[in-house]
Amino acid sequence: MSAYTTEQINAAMTAPVEMVTGPRTSKVTAINRMATTAAIADAAKERKARLAAEKREAREQRKLDRIAKKAQKADKANKRKTKVVKPMTAVANAAAKAAKTRRKSLVAKKKVAAAQKKAHNAFKKELKTTRRNLMASWKEQARSQKEVERAVALIFKTEEKRKKKEAKAAKKLAKEEAAAAKKAAKVATPKRAKLTDEQKLVNKAKRAYQTEKNRRAKWEREFQAKFNGVVWQRVALQVAQEPELEDGFVC
């Protein structure tokens, strides 16, 4: 209540009370539902009465037909030449007239029903033909669309193959041109001259000298690693004290 002002509270207290005069919504809904149910019941009752009246009329018609046939048979049997209308003949004529009218109405109804059935069959046939033509046209359109897509895909595939083939041929040509250029630029190496016996001995001596030098360097490294260079220092001192002693190497 703290959210309202004093004027608002006084206005709410002094406001006139509205009385509900009309029916409630639920009541209106119930009345409508009941009215619908009553209408359905009335329609069913009316249909039942109509069917009973038609059956009764059919019985009366059959009765009138029987009476007319009996009167015709009696007239044919008696072969009367007089034109005196008797009560029985009048009833028979009225019954025959009523039967003829009834037959005409039945024939007219049958004709209308036959015409309606014929029109319905023609419509169904036309609808079936239209549906068949539409399906055929749709299938033809789908087939043509697929053929177009296949042709486009084939064109793209052929173009891609052609590009790959051209690139491969260009690459091969470039490779061949590079090989030809390299071959043309390559200088023929001169043939090595044949060595004489003295040159062969000199080369052999050089190789032997280099091998011995490498062996001594290796032995020196292993010796120093084993004795930490102590003994080698003593040997070096002794060699320094005796300079006249030298190693001799005979090739």
pLDDT tens column, 170-220: 998 998 888 888 887 776 566 677 888 899 999 999 999 999 999 999 998
In our burial notation (b when 16+ CB lie closer than 10 A, e otherwise), range 66-76 reads ebbeebeeeee
Measure the CA–CA gap between 140 and 137, rounded to whole angstroms: 5
Give the CA diameter of the chain.
Answer: 195
Is the same domain home to 112 and 211?
Answer: no
Question: Number of structural domains, the chain?
Answer: 2
- pLDDT score recorded for residue 238: 62
Is the same domain home to 60 and 158?
Answer: yes
Contact 251/205 with Cβ under 8 angstroms?
A: yes
Is the same domain home to 225 and 150?
Answer: no
Measure the CA–CA gap between 116 and 110, rounded to whole angstroms: 10
- pLDDT score recorded for residue 251: 45
Asked if residue 178 belongs to a domain, the reply is no
- pLDDT score recorded for residue 208: 94
Asked if residue 173 belongs to a domain, the reply is no
Among 153, 168, 183, the domain boundary falls at 168
Is the same domain home to 55 and 102?
Answer: yes
- pLDDT score recorded for residue 182: 82
Contact 61/97 with Cβ under 8 angstroms?
A: no
Measure the CA–CA gap between 185 and 175, rounded to whole angstroms: 15
Tracing tokens 């549906």 back to the chain, one arrives at 131
Is the same domain home to 96 and 210?
Answer: no
Domain span at residue 106? Answer: 23-168
Is the same domain home to 106 and 221?
Answer: no
Measure the CA–CA gap between 109 and 84, rounded to whole angstroms: 37
- pLDDT score recorded for residue 212: 94
Residue 95, Cβ density class (10 Å: 0-12 exposed, 13-18 middle, ≥19 buried): buried
**Residue length of the chain:** 251
Measure the CA–CA gap between 215 and 209, rounded to whole angstroms: 10
Low-confidence ranges of the chain (pLDDT < 50): 1, 81-87, 245-246, 248-251
